[in-house]
Amino acid sequence: MSQDKQQGRVAVITGASSGIGAATARSLHAAGYRVALLARRTDRIKALADELGEGALAVSADVTDRDALVAAAERVAQEFGGADVLVNNAGTMLLGPFSAEQRDDYRRMIEVNLLGAITATEVFLDQLKDGGGDIVNISSVAGRVANVGSGVYAATKFGINGWSESLRKELLPDVRVTVIEPGVVATELPTHITHEATRQGAQQLYDVAEVTAEDVAEVITFTLQRPRHLVINEILLRPAGQVQ
Ligand SMILES: NC(=O)c1ccc[n+]([C@@H]2O[C@H](COP(=O)([O-])OP(=O)(O)OC[C@H]3O[C@@H](n4cnc5c(N)ncnc54)[C@H](OP(=O)(O)O)[C@@H]3O)[C@@H](O)[C@H]2O)c1
């Protein structure tokens, strides 16, 4: 797709308040997209919208709240005429040994990572179908490989991969579906881990992470910029030193 055709396309990004979501918003805006920034931390998305200026809209929305997503879709329709791209990026990685003590974390990850993406997609689907859209689902290496202590997180990402493959077949050729599967990326993702020993171990790994949110955002923007007769269905990317 030429740079001209990107101009004015509208991308909705969930989890745009930090990390990969915020970097993707910056990258797509720089490529000529109008961007709707969805997240719960309103101060962060408002600051990002102010930084980006024209063509950026902050919309507070929790992806576990369908009514909030419906209100967000109405706002995007009013302000921008509807969404062309949905980046399902909002997610949380609450790692730890499998135990009853972590049961709230399990529900949270399924509700945010998996059901949140599914709900955002069904809510925005009519807008995406109108004129040729794109869905980018942020999965993970954990959508391919499950390790000790990552079972439910991996289940949500394996779930994203399975659901995306069905969606890809169902929505072509009008809506392209892409799955992005990053390895370790330097973001605040591990800071939310509730199991203290696991959080400390993960933080040590993330403190030396070399792949940045901007690296991943660049890949997402490249994927979306391909001509519409070409679909990049899946991209698996790891830091050069990551084995698992
Ligand atoms: N960093 C990595 O190593 C890595 C690797 C593979 C995949 N990923 C995936 O990449 C995605 C982004 O993560 P990140 O690394 O950029 O971490 P991050 O900086 O912690 O970003 C997570 C984003 O999700 C949002 N979020 C969380 N719960 C939400 C909810 N209920 N409703 C709406 N938004 C919610 C957060 O915004 P608010 O808190 O403001 O709502 C935040 O913007 C996730 O799906 C993650 O699983 C990350």
Cα of 17 to ligand 1 centre, how many Å?
9
Atom of ligand 1 nearest to the CA of 182: 6
The share of the chain scoring above pLDDT 70, in percent, equals 97
106 is catalytic: no
- Please tell me the predicted confidence (pLDDT) of residue 6: 62
∠ Cα 235 224 68 (to 5°):
95
pLDDT at 242: 85
The structural domain count of the chain equals 1
Is there a domain that residue 35 lies in?
Answer: yes
Which of 43, 185, 205, 211 has most ligand 1 atoms within 8 Å of its beta carbon, as the pocket-test mutant? 185
- 118 within some domain: yes
Best CA proximity match to 89, nearest among 130, 45, 46: 45
- Residue 53 in any domain: the answer is yes
* Lookup: tokens for 22: 């915020």
Ligand 1: does its nearest atom lie under 6 Å from the Cβ of 190?
Answer: no
Give per-residue pLDDT as tens, 147-166: 999 999 999 999 999 999 99
Query: What is the residue-averaged pLDDT of the chain?
Result: 96
In this structure, the chain runs to a length of 244
**Which whole-number Å values give the CA distances from 189 to 86, 93, 121, in the listed order?**
21, 6, 23
Q: Is residue 196 domain-resident?
A: no
Q: What tens digit of pLDDT does each residue of 185-215 get?
A: 999 999 999 999 999 999 999 999 999 999 9
Ligand 1 pocket test, candidate residues 40, 119, 156, 160, most atoms within 8 A of CB: 40
Of residues 4 and 21, which shows the higher confidence score? 21
- Does some domain include residue 136? yes
Residue 189 domain-assigned? no
The catalytic residue among 33, 106, 153, 206 is: 153
pLDDT over 60 (residue 5):
no
- Report the CATH number at residue 75: 3.40.50.720
CA–CA dist 83, 80 (Å, integer): 8
Residue range(s) defining the domain that contains residue 80: 3-91+105-141+155-184+212-235
- Would residue 205 count as lying in a domain? no
Residue 148 lies in a domain: no
The helix-helix angle for 19-30 and 213-224 (nearest 10°) equals: 50
